[in-house]
Amino acid sequence: MDGFTIRLQAKKLAIRAGRPIAILHEDVARQLGIFPLDRIEIKNPKTKKKIVAIIDVTDSMVSSSEVGLFEDVIKKLKVQEGSSLQVRAVERPKSVEYIKKKILGEALTEKEIKTIVKDLDENKLSDVEAGAFMSAVYIRGYNMQETVAMTKALIENGKRIKFDVSPVVDKHSIGGINGRATMVIVPIVAAAKLYIPKTSSRSITSAAGTADAMEVLANVCLMPEEIKEITESIGGVICWGGALNLAPVDEKIIKVEYPLSLNPQGQIIASVLAKKAAVGSKYVVVDIPVGPGLKIENNEQGEQLAEKFIAVGRRLGMRIEAVLTDGTQPSGPAFGPALEARHAMQILERKCFDSLAQKSCELAGVLFELVGKADRGKGFALAKKLLKTGKALKKMRQIIKAQGAKILSSKRIELAPYTEQVFASDEGEIARINVRRLINIARIAGASYDKGAGVLLNVEIGDDVGKGGLLYTIFAENKRKLMLASREAKRNSGIELGKIILKKIS
């Protein structure tokens, strides 16, 4: 395809596509012998800058003497409207061939995976190619070598933070849905003099991410130097990982996975471990919530994933312990940033010790045993002691202060002002709580964008409620959102009562 060069005039199009795109008239495309999604090299003879762009074809937007340029291209070429550019067809990048290889079911080499990651990083692949790749990875899977290679490639394409202290440890949950165990675990772990630089995400489809909840109490947008400094001096941070560029290609892959909820196991492992390796974690406990409708649907899948996590970690010099947890039930009563932050603070303040507190101590305990801070079987007791003596709370307050303190106590957390209570329409035992539905109601009420909005449960599985008993409270920032959320709750509260008579036959 590397043929002759033609000259075209630049026509600027004020669009940022996130990748270099150029528009050719269909006659020009035919002359170059290329089609939509093929590539051209564009050279600006004045600035000597070159770029490879993916083309689309039009019969009207640009004339046959012009090439339409998106912003990414304009910037790179430093081009003026109307300047004369040299355009020629070029081959597709090698990674397109490797994607086809994966589609055909062959394993990729380390070099091939690195090339794909590099081309994703440099936005050289079209959406069609990226979508086809993730679909193929989902269907074909990665073997161990491929998973390790993908992890390494993601690490190499990102920034790293190097710590002068040790041991650096971490905790990760695969698609946890509510309850901020992280905000309890990090201060417990740091109180035991381990170092835990926890980078968290914002909500995608949940009512709050850890970064959203922590932001209620402190600043979560930290620079790498701040993360290093606070972790080394205090033992822990809880910050937002999104702006750190720790594994930028991972963000792009997640964007491609998102529309079809494609979560190939190997890609999950690479995504998690790359981010952990980027902050130098040597010991990681991975929490794998299991349940129908979750990323991991059953124990068998969970165990497979756990074993792979451990094996891949070993090849990267990391010690990993993975635990399966019940992902079908809510982790605590709160859905929404401020509500979840308040509940985590209440646990640290020793106002309650519920299932979320139990889970947090268990996970911290696993980490203590992994590092050798506690003997086998003694980790949980150490974690609970650090919580019960108030050492974890003290550590949390140090962390909050170091991250530009907003709020140090659960009592000071503001919730949204408009509330509506949702009551049981019958009497019975709480049989099932539809977490996904409560999250939807919390989101309609404004979470996670409105920090104070959400849902606060008043019941747990197995509780007996009378007719008219309080099930939960909805919080919203204004009447309209409250009305929309409570209308949704009335349609279906998400709380199922156990019936003694299952069916009447008459």
Residues near a copy of itself (CB under 8 A) are 1, 3-4, 13-18, 30-31, 33, 35-38, 56, 58, 60-61, 92, 96, 99-100, 103, 105, 126-136, 138-140, 203-204, 255-256, 258-262, 440, 443-444, 448-449, 480-481, 484
Instruction: Please identify, using beta-carbon distances, which residue of 17 and 165 lies nearer to a copy of itself.
Output: 17
Residue at token pair 């089609």: 35
User: CA nearest 118: which of 159, 157, 149, 151?
Assistant: 157
Count of Cβ atoms closer than 10 Å to residue 445 Cβ: 32
Closest distance of CB 76 from a copy of itself, Å: 17
Q: How far is the CB of 467 from a copy of itself (least distance, A)?
A: 30
**Residue 126: C-alpha distances to residues 1, 129, 258, 334 (Å):** 19, 5, 16, 41
Give the span between the Cα atoms of 102 and 95, in whole angstroms.
10
Q: In angstroms, what is the minimal distance from the CB of 287 to a copy of itself?
A: 24
Q: Is 147 exposed, middle or buried (0-12, 13-18, 19+ CB in 10 A)?
A: buried
CA distance 485 to 475: 9
Nearer to a copy of itself, 31 or 83 (CB): 31
**Cβ–Cβ < 8 Å for 154, 245:** no
Query: Rounded distance, CA 459 to CA 36, Å?
Result: 56
Of 292 and 377, which CB lies nearer to a copy of itself in the complex structure?
Answer: 292
Nearer to a copy of itself, 127 or 349 (CB): 127
Q: Which is nearer to a copy of itself, 66 or 362 (CB)?
A: 66
Give the C-alpha separation, 363 to 367, whole Å.
Answer: 6
Looking at the Cβ atoms of 261 and 506, the one nearer to a copy of itself is: 261
Min separation Cβ 101 and a copy of itself, Å: 10
Name 495's Cβ contacts closer than 8 Å, sequence gap at least 6: 424, 430, 432, 433, 434, 459, 471, 472
Residue 499 phi/psi, 5-degree rounding, is -105, 140
**Is the peptide bond between 167 and the residue preceding it cis, with omega within 30 degrees of 0?**
yes
Which of 191/476 has CB closer to a copy of itself?
A: 476
Task: Give the nearest distance from C-beta 289 to a copy of itself in angstroms.
Answer: 21
* 332 backbone φψ class: left, alpha, beta (φ>0; ψ -120 to 50): left
* Minimum gap (Å) between residue 69 Cβ and a copy of itself: 12
Give the nearest distance from C-beta 252 to a copy of itself in angstroms: 10
Q: Which C-beta is closer to a copy of itself: that of 50 or that of 480?
A: 480
Distance CA 63, CA 15 (A): 18
Decide whether 140 or 395 has the Cβ nearer to a copy of itself: 140
CB atoms within 10 A of CB 257: 21
Smallest distance, Å, CB 156 to a copy of itself?
25
Closest distance between a copy of itself and the C-beta of residue 256, in Å?
A: 6
